[in-house]
Amino acid sequence: MLRITLSSEPSADVAVLSRNLELWPVLDEVVDGYSVLKLETIRTPINARDAVRMSQHMLRDKSSVGYASMAARLSRSGVKVLLAVDQTSQVIDELGRLLPDLSQVLIAHGSQREQILSEFHRVPHRTRRVLGVWGRSDTDIYARVSSHHKSVLCEPVGSLRNAGYLRHHPLDPARVARTPLLFVSQYSGLDEEDLSSGSKRVQILSLVKSRLHAYCVEHALPLKIALRPPASAPLAPRQSEYERRHYERVFSGLHLTFTDPTDPYASYLASDESEVTVGVPTGALTESFARGNKVLMIRQDPKTGSYYGFPREGDWLLTEPSYEEFASRLDKLRSLRREVTAAAWQREREYMVANAETDKPIALIRDLLDRAIRGDLK
């Protein structure tokens, strides 16, 4: 059912997608102090005052009713820049098509991997669009993937979620581990339960869990598990319950504790408080690595793809290891002081995620918004 309104639209400089605000609370801190239009993308309301603008978009631009309504609201409020997460690509592209003069400041949802970027989430170039990426690694990958066409303008600002965490939990340079090992979950439901699956993703995750289980048994160690938070979408009903049951079965015989998936920063805090964080090379491991923590990432063989890839090799990375290789590397990492590895890995850490030990990315994104409002984005 359409939601019809006849309300006036206050003027605003920045538009933010309501859906992004739900899943990215740090965006409230980014837009604090700006005049903001919150744009609903689900059951978009239709304002009768926008009938003429909407008709133009629908007839001339072949737009849907919903997108025509969003574009009309943006025009009527005088918004100068759209702030959005790059995963909401359909909304971003359609509003860019309908409003080519509207600047866009986009936030990368994670660290880029070449295979995933090529197949799913590449943001195309357009004028007055900038993408805030995590680090120079992402800029380099975008340049390679876009080798046959112009790449979107990338600014390596750092991880915005990581910055939001650090604003509320500043890093203690003398922090001491409270738990020996943390495993970061990538649980995806029934797919992960099927051990006969030919999926490379399932095979790598099964390998990591098998190696980690054997190590904890051998060393009589407890294990903490960072459950998946609603990072890209709301959690499915009972997802966390099923996730717990999965790990209670997979890691049977171990003393397990779990993070609270309703806390958006629980995985960050748990990793900062763990001696070593173990998992596949996803965002949480990459951010923890960049913050100077000891991590052990298990990647797939690059010959099979880069879905679980990582562009820099070192003590933080193993490729589909045997148990002996896994145990030897984990022993080594546990024997080293965090400060020593943080210093030794600094160049690679900064290459992957800029400004990872401060909340500076928030200020850098605000600077991009200011440039967009002034009309300085090219």
Residues lower than pLDDT 50 in the chain:
1
Dig out the tokens for 250 from the structure: 């997979």
Cα(278)–Cα(251) distance, integer angstroms: 14
Q: How do residues 270-327 score in pLDDT, each as one tens digit?
A: 999 999 999 999 999 999 999 999 999 999 998 888 788 899 999 999 999 999 999 9
296, 329 in Cβ contact below 8 A?
yes
Report the pLDDT value the prediction gives residue 250, as an integer from 0 to 100.
95
365/27 Cα distance (integer angstroms):
10
The CATH number of the domain covering residues in 4-165+359-374: 3.40.50
Residue 1, pLDDT score: 43
Give the pLDDT confidence score for residue 358 in this predicted structure. Answer: 96
pLDDT digits (tens, 9 = 90+) for 153-180: 999 999 999 999 999 999 998 899 999 9
Burial 138-152 (b: 16+ CB within 10 A, else e): bbbbbeebbeeeebb
User: Does 172-352 match 4-165+359-374 at the fold level?
Assistant: yes
Residue 314 and residue 185: Cα distance in Å, rounded?
22
Residue 127 token pair: 């004028």
Contact (CB, 8 A) for 243 and 187: yes
For the chain, domain boundaries: 4-165+359-374, 172-352
CATH number of 172-352, picked from 3.60.21.10, 3.60.15.10, 3.40.50.2000, 3.40.50.10140: 3.40.50.2000
User: Which residue in 332, 337, 287 sits closest to 314, CA to CA?
Assistant: 332
Q: For position 6, what pLDDT does the model report? A: 58
